[in-house]
Structure 1
Amino acid sequence: MTAKHAFHLALLVVFMMVAPARAEDLRAVMEADNARWLAAYNANTPAAFPAMYAKDAVLLPPGSQPVNGNEAIGKFWEARLKPGDKKDHTFEIVSIHQDGKYAYQVARWTVVVVKDAGERTRFSGNTVRIFERQPDGGWLTKVHIFNADK
């Protein structure tokens, strides 16, 4: 094996090791973002939502018109979070991918709402969120789509 071939082989090995590391980093970012989002939802703190969405974000809820802008998205969640209801909302990431300054996450979601009387109702569905990397290196949700299982 020539020195040139050895060099190319070494480069190939390095690139093969870097790709999984980047995917793991993206997964960690997505898990952290999910944890922030779920904490806001489960604790009934809708004021936390606008900071998680880009100023020009779009939310596409099922059976509704698009909700445009992070402040309007915050109001959307405020209207849906009922004070006093206990919630157990979860995300299970199905797939993630990054291309430059954009990344997407496909996930399954479930939420169990517990009324004061103890009545439990379970809902579930799918969600896709497209994230945009910000100049500070952080990620904000640019597009959020979700649906419910029938």
Structure 2
Amino acid sequence: MLESDINTIVKEAQDRWNAAFNGGDAAAVAALYTSDGTVLPPAHAVVKGTAAIADFWAGFISAGVREHGIELLDAQDGGDMAYSSGKWWATGSGEDGKALRFEGTIVTIFRRQPDGSWKTCLHTWN
């Protein structure tokens, strides 16, 4: 696969993730992960499997985290696996009601599915 192809695939995957999260749909976010997908949040227990991933992201959404975005820095294809790195950001409110901006870096590993689509199998950030 050409580098530009994997960049397009990853960018489209990131856009679907952001749209689902920003739309407040944790189940749609979780559907973008493989059934054995793993989320490795900073300072939190490992989150594994679609149901646990949906619950995890539902907590962020209900806490008022919103306007999530990702800037792709790099994507590499490894056959049926690919990885990407980037920068992420989101907004929310502090306990005092003031707007907060969160940001950091992200690494995502994707696995090609039997139907040719790509889903996240590992996701971590700081």
CA distance in structure 2 between the partners assigned to 1:75 and 1:43 by the alignment: 15
CA distance in structure 2 between the partners assigned to 1:94 and 1:102 by the alignment: 17
1:106 counterpart residue number? 85
Runs of 4+ residues deviating >3 angstroms: none
Give the secondary-structure state (helix, strand or coil) at the position aligned to 1:100: coil
Over aligned residues, Cα RMSD in angstroms?
1.9
Greater strand share, structure number? 2
Contact 1:87 1:114 in 2 (8 A): no
Considering only CA atoms, is the larger Rg found in Structure 1 or Structure 2? 1
2:29 counterpart residue number? 49
Greater helix share, structure number? 1
Contact 1:110 1:124 in 2 (8 A): yes
CA distance in structure 2 between the partners assigned to 1:51 and 1:76 by the alignment: 13
- Aligned pairs for 1:28-107 within 5 A: 28-82=8-62, 85=64, 87-107=66-86
CA distance in structure 1 between the partners assigned to 2:22 and 2:88 by the alignment: 13
Q: Which runs of 5+ in 1 are unaligned?
A: 1-18
Give the secondary-structure state (helix, strand or coil) at the position aligned to 1:143: strand
1:145 counterpart residue number? 124
Contact 2:7 2:74 in 1 (8 A): no
**Alignment coverage as a number of residue pairs:** 125
CA distance in structure 2 between the partners assigned to 1:80 and 1:114 by the alignment: 12
- For CA contacts below 8 A with separation 6 or more, give which structure has more relative contact order: 2
